[in-house]
Amino acid sequence: QVHVVESGGGLVQAGGSLRLSCAASGSIFSINVMAWYRQYPGKERELVSNITSGGSTNYADSVKDRFTISRDIAKNTVYLQMNSLKPEDTAVYYCRITTVQDMAVAHYWGHGTRVTVSS
Mean pLDDT across 83-98: 97
C-alpha to C-alpha distance for 41 and 90, rounded to whole angstroms: 10
Report pLDDT for 39: 98
Which residues fall within 8 angstroms of residue 34, CB to CB, at 6 or more apart? 22, 24, 50, 51, 69, 71, 78, 95, 96, 97, 98
C-alpha to C-alpha distance for 118 and 4, rounded to whole angstroms: 28
pLDDT tens digits for 48-71?
999 999 999 999 999 999 999 999
pLDDT tens digits for 28-39?
778 889 999 999
Burial class (CB in 10 A: 0-12, 13-18, 19+), 18: buried
C-alpha to C-alpha distance for 83 and 97, rounded to whole angstroms: 23
C-alpha to C-alpha distance for 22 and 74, rounded to whole angstroms: 13
Report pLDDT for 64: 97
pLDDT tens digits for 95-110?
999 998 888 899 999 9
% of the chain surpassing 90 pLDDT: 87
